[in-house]
Amino acid sequence: MASSEPSGAAGDERPDEVWVRAAGGEMSIRLRSLSNFLERGGTLAEVRLVENADGIWTVWVRLADRPGEFRVNQFHNDAPKTYKDLALAHATIREDLRYAGPIVLSTDRRPSARP
């Protein structure tokens, strides 16, 4: 379910910002909205890369002025922005999001049992 929420202080709302809250309480933000937030002086407090069981990475961010963790979605829709290449995900965080802090890596993959 998509909903528009305020981006910060009163008068700072933008109609093109989309914050998504899933039924399970998971929150996400479109890459476009995150880029706009950063261009207006917003900052990232924390970034985390999560690898799913299939080896696909998603980006999760904490914003300095908003509680909670947000999954980064694609630029024009509400599907997660995913990466097969960890180096590309890292470059996106450093260059596109201009984040220079630590990046936490976590995985849902489990080692296969050895016979």
Q: How far is CA 10 from CA 7, 32, 86, in A?
A: 9, 21, 38
Task: Please give the pLDDT value at position 24.
Answer: 55
pLDDT digits (tens, 9 = 90+) for 57-110: 999 999 998 888 999 999 888 899 999 999 999 999 999 999 999 999 999 888
Pairing between β-strand 57-63 and β-strand 82-83 as defined by DSSP bridges? antiparallel
Give the sign of the dihedral formed by CA 91, CA 82, CA 105, CA 98. Answer: positive
Task: Please give the pLDDT value at position 48.
Answer: 97
pLDDT at 40 over 70: yes
pLDDT digits (tens, 9 = 90+) for 21-33: 555 557 899 999 9
Q: Which of 59, 87, 90 is nearest to 75 (CA)?
A: 59
Give the phi and the psi of residue 4 in degrees, each rounded to 5. -90, 130
The answer, as to whether pTM is greater than 0.85, is: no
The residue written with tokens 């909903």 in the block is 3
Task: Please give the pLDDT value at position 109.
Answer: 86
107's tokens: 């995985």
Task: Please give the pLDDT value at position 77.
Answer: 85
Task: Please give the pLDDT value at position 19.
Answer: 56
Beta bridge partners of 106: 50
